[in-house]
Chains A and B, each alone.
Chain A
Amino acid sequence: MNLGNYLLYRLSTALTVLFGASALSFGLVFLTPGDPAETILDQREDTHPTPEAVEAFREAEGLNDPIPIQYVDWVVGISNGDLGESYYSSQSVTTLLVEHAPTTIELALASMVVALCIAVPAGIVSAVHRGDRIDIGSQLAALIGVSMPNFWLGYLLIIVFSLYLGLFPVSGSGSLSQLVLPAVTLGSGMAAIITRLVRTAMLDELESEYVTAARAKGLRERLVLYKHVLRNALIPVITIVGLQFGFVLNGALVVEVVFQRPGLGMLLVDSIFARNYPVVQGIVLLTAVIFVVTNLLVDLSYYRLDPRIRLGGTNS
């Protein structure tokens, strides 16, 4: 398959995925107990709403229509670029997403940087000094990193670095110093996974005959490692890093609550509690889009990195 065909094929599957994800989330939202009309009017007016007010709200928001009809309305809205309005603030969902997304993306990217800065060097050192103390140490650190829950590490960091040492602010967003602790919290778990992956991939590649051949050419060990081995070892690593990027959004949900960062995670948690369906669906859809796009980018980078790969998996 050539690039054009491949992109066309991937785009069509992406649409199917998005359709499925949105339908599922739409259904799930309606299965959760609680009536959005009552919850929202309750919060808006600060008193228990009258049945007439509830009925009026349901009629206005189309909540009395059968669920499939509501879904179709929603999909038709999306195709016109309209994600609906928040029940609560009457702001358009699009506006809300645009407001909150940068904070989350900032966190996701920063934690990715943290993860890679720890993981790639640690993995390489571990592989090169296989079985040595430094390898065992890094493996142990990776095990701890993988096992530690995000929120617990987050509070631990707050206690040590904010309350005790006073180096970083406890919460909020906007400045670099406010980004450090959440990024470390979120990045360390990923770093653990990626370290082990880099180590295994490096060890696999070091066994290869081309490494001996490169040494037989008289290349320096440094060059053999970084030019020959690392380049091949990073191919499988990139897949996992790409997939992890999707999961960063999940992690952001918890970390944003811990550090009180007004990102998509916070917005999602608030919206779920408030039964603010249009916002929840908007975020789910956005997350699905990000998943699909990062996956596609991973596959394309694979194609770029490994000349042997044929798009669409048709090898000949």
Chain B
Amino acid sequence: MDPLLRVDNLQTEFRLPEKTVRAVNGVTFEVGRGEIVGIVGESGSGKSVTARSIVGLEEPGEIVGGTVTFDGTELTEADRTTKRRIRGSGISMLFQDPGASLNPVLTVGEQILEAATLTHDGPAKSLPAAFGFQSFRRRPLWSDARNEAIGLLERVGIADAERRIDDYPHEFSGGMRQRVMLAVALAANPTLLLADEPTTALDTTTQAQLLDLLADLSEIEEMSIVLISHDLGVVSEICDRVVVLYGGEVMESGPTERVLNNPRHPYTHGLLRCRIDANHSGTKLPTIDGTVPDRFDSRGCPFASRCSYATTECNTTEPPVTTVESTHHVKCSELDSVPDLDAHPTGSNEDQGFDSGTKSLVNDDSVTDPVVRFENVSKEYETNQSVLESVLSGREQLTAVNDVSFVVRPGETLGIVGESGSGKSTIAELMTGLSGLTSGTIRLNGQPVGIAEDRSHDQLNDVGMVFQDARSSCNPRLRVRELVAEPLIEAGWAQSEQWDRVREVLEWVELGPEHADRRPHQLSGGQLQRVALARAMALEPELVVLDEPVSGLDVSIQATVCNLLLELQEQSGQSFVIISHDLKVVSHLADRILVTYLGEIVERGAAESLRDSPAHPYTAALFDAVPTIDGTSGFEPLEGAVPSPIDRPDGCSFHTRCPMVESKCQTESPDWQQVKGTQSRCHFAESVAGEASPDVDGLGNDVDE
């Protein structure tokens, strides 16, 4: 049988005023019916442009060669109407940022309906009807469509769909919005779904749920899926075949198992090796040097400039495509000199790693003065209510952080992990003084501190902060040197000393002085994150708070930033607080970890103990949700989302989603249980951790009044 989609030697160019960039350069692959194909590569490797070229949305780019055959129809030569109809019925798309790809001023129902009714009414729909003005004659049809939209929302796992269909996109959480987008995509009953980084903007737990949903759809509906991602882990969870893209060319393609276990191309090696879960925590991650270059001509191998096996020939002649095994193809001319990859190179790179002794735990005894101490800290927000409502039904409180106590010790890296809505970012805001607490005490070097305005100069200089989105936290009008100098100016440094310092700090984060005069838009995401880090470190604060420092970065860049963080922390001896939804990232970087859920700490302990034997079902679920390439994808994704902090569940706050919930959990709030090296707030902590081991040394203990 013919494949559903055949992309053959596709070439797409962008004509810029000064040069022509070839984004897709001879991509060839097939997608069979009901098959899931993963396209993997770093940003700039041409994945998205390939997907958009398939459906004719490559503008402002231009397809200059090759063919795209979908279900027997050749699409690159097709007229606009044909392309549009294919988009409306045959091929649907799912985009990376569900917040941006839904129209903010239309209800989600309307956006599903318009995709659904397209197929019902055919192309000859009148304009008023398209705008939602329905004549009475057509009412029954309209309510059918509405019911169908409700059905779609239910199918993608949105609870209470009948009521939520009239909500606007901003009333949904990120994960829910991506489900809505999926409902929109499914409305047209597509045979092929192009999913462009659909989970990159989501929590690991939500990502796991969505991947699960996609796999189900493919299986039940026989829908074909093209899943685009920078992360081989994501792709390996559900894909039948993998296509590795670089510089707009297919570097390697084959069945997922083969490519992951027996990769032949140096680029695939690189992508696999730099994954955090393939490495020991605290060790230096292998990286792929350099970044994806823009291609202006098609001579030679695009990866040659970053490849350690490259010869001069690689730069000048197009590498041949070798068929390693029936369906496993590799495009490389030095195949013989590329060694087999040890699929799980754990330990193999310790020679280049850091001394693992530096990650040993600071014992409680040696904690004399913690840098930061949270004592029973709570943070509540008032919800938006009218005067009348609050008189009638009492004031509504939203508890973002609920009675939290912990310390940050000198020179340690503390990880705080949890899903969105778990209160971890609020803890960062409280620590840095960006928002004020409702009750409790925060001590910085023993002194109680309030919000940033009330802190002394020295106290402000002691805390640095790196925000999640480097691009929006750097003023686009300032140059790098001005950005990094900002805290220096605030601290009253003399102008002459500022520049020397800026150069020094940029050196710490491995940026050269040539970067100092650039502006944010001239830097890549990874470079900009370094600038943000340099700014936070400029005054050598005792404490650096990093909110999601590597999420949103490509896997390869994640690896370099992680290495940098480990190195900086080791050299400077500062305390780092690293906040992330990704437990793998946190456990790689941190000495100790706090797991937060609904504003409470549910488990805490040494990173190693937590990883080896998590004693709280939530921690275990967070670990499970991280996509891995070692074939252990029999995960049960955590159901649902974090409940509303206005209406907190009684008893254990996690009981509504806990896989091992019992009646006791619904009424009794669990107390701290010491299990092995961690402390967990779960009634069944010991059985979660595997076996009971009551009195181990007090690793990871801290304030526990």
Contacts and interface: CB of A to CB of B under 8 A. Distances in A.
Nearest to B118: A218
Interface string B80-119: 0000111111001101010011111110000000110010
B476 to A, nearest CB: 16
Among B57, B131, B386, B389, the most chain A Cβ lie within 10 Å of the Cβ of B386
Contacts of B392: none
B192 interface: no
Interface string A231-247: 11001000000000000
Nearest to A216: B93
Contacts of B97: 209
A216 B57 contact: yes
B381 to A, nearest CB: 8
A217 B170 contact: no
Interface in B106-158: 106, 114-115, 118, 127, 130-131
A218 B384 contact: no
Contacts of A212: 52, 57, 95, 101
A228 B103 contact: yes
Given A5-B387, A308-B168, A217 B103 contact: no
Interface in A167-224: 208-210, 212-220, 222-223
Nearest to B184: A217
Interface centre among A217, A220, A306, A316 (most CB of B within 10 A): A217
Contacts of B103: 210, 213-214, 228, 231-232
Contacts of B95: 209, 212-213, 216
A208 B97 CA distance: 11
A117 interface: no
A74 B312 CA distance: 93
A227 B131 contact: yes
B432 to A, nearest CB: 20
Interface in B50-80: 52, 55, 57
B188 interface: yes
Contacts of B118: 217-219
A142 B268 CA distance: 55
Interface centre among A2, A210, A214, A310 (most CB of B within 10 A): A210
Interface string B179-218: 0010010001000000000000000000000000000000
A216 B104 contact: no
Nearest to A4: B386
A47 interface: no
A163 interface: no
A306 B106 CA distance: 9
A218 B89 contact: yes
A218 B101 contact: no
Given A213-B181, A232-B105, A218 B386 contact: no
Interface residues of A, number: 30
A215 B93 CA distance: 10
A222 B87 CA distance: 16
Given A209-B95, A212-B57, A231-B105, A217 B114 contact: yes
A213 B389 contact: no
A222 B130 CA distance: 11
A307 interface: yes
B660 interface: no
A305 interface: yes
A315 B100 CA distance: 18
A310 B168 contact: no
Contacts, number: 95
Nearest to B99: A209
Contact of A306 (B101, B104, B130, B383): B104
B87 A215 contact: yes
Contacts of A305: 105
Nearest to B86: A218
B388 interface: yes
Contact of B104 (A214, A227, A307, A316): A307
A80 interface: no
B386 to A, nearest CB: 4
Which of A5, A216, A308 has its CB near the most chain B CB atoms (within 10 A)? A216
B188 A1 contact: no
Contacts of B88: 217-219
A314 interface: yes
Contacts of A227: 106, 114, 130-131
B384 A314 contact: yes
B163 to A, nearest CB: 16
A188 B178 CA distance: 45
Contact of A310 (B85, B106, B127, B384): B384
A306 B105 contact: yes
Nearest to B388: A4
Contacts of B383: 316
Contacts of B52: 212
B386 A5 contact: yes
B114 A219 contact: yes
A232 B101 contact: no
A95 B101 CA distance: 56
A209 B97 CA distance: 8
A306 B170 CA distance: 11
Contacts of A1: 384, 386
Given A217-B114, A217-B188, A210 B100 contact: yes
A259 B241 CA distance: 77
A213 B89 contact: no
A217 B87 contact: yes
A310 B171 CA distance: 12
B685 to A, nearest CB: 35
Q: Which of A227, A231, A306 has the most CB of B within 10 A?
A: A227
A218 B81 CA distance: 9
Contacts of B106: 227-228, 231
Contacts of A213: 93, 95, 101-103, 181, 184
A101 B86 CA distance: 58
A287 to B, nearest CB: 33
B57 to A, nearest CB: 6
A307 B168 contact: yes
Nearest to B90: A218
B256 to A, nearest CB: 26
A180 to B, nearest CB: 31
A222 B105 contact: no
A5 B387 CA distance: 7
Interface string B655-683: 00000000000000000000000000000
Contacts of A232: 103-105
Contacts of A217: 87-88, 92, 114-115, 118, 184, 188
Contact of B101 (A210, A219, A316): A210
Contact of B384 (A216, A220, A316): A316
Nearest to B89: A218
A231 B115 CA distance: 18
A213 B101 CA distance: 6
A305 B106 CA distance: 10
Nearest to A231: B105
Interface string A1-13: 1101100000000
B386 A2 contact: yes
Nearest to B381: A316
A129 B633 CA distance: 50
Contacts of B181: 213
A212 B168 CA distance: 19
Nearest to B387: A5
Nearest to A305: B105
Given A213-B184, A223-B130, A232-B103, 13 more contacts: A5-B387, A209-B97, A212-B52, A215-B57, A218-B84, A218-B89, A223-B114, A227-B131, A231-B103, A231-B105, A307-B170, A314-B384, A316-B383
The 7 closest A-B pairs by CB, nearest first: A218-B88, A218-B87, A209-B100, A2-B386, A213-B101, A216-B93, A307-B168
Interface of B: 52, 55, 57, 84-89, 92-93, 95, 97, 100-106, 114-115, 118, 127, 130-131, 168, 170, 181, 184, 188, 381, 383-389
7 contacts: A2-B385, A2-B386, A5-B388, A215-B57, A217-B118, A227-B106, A305-B105
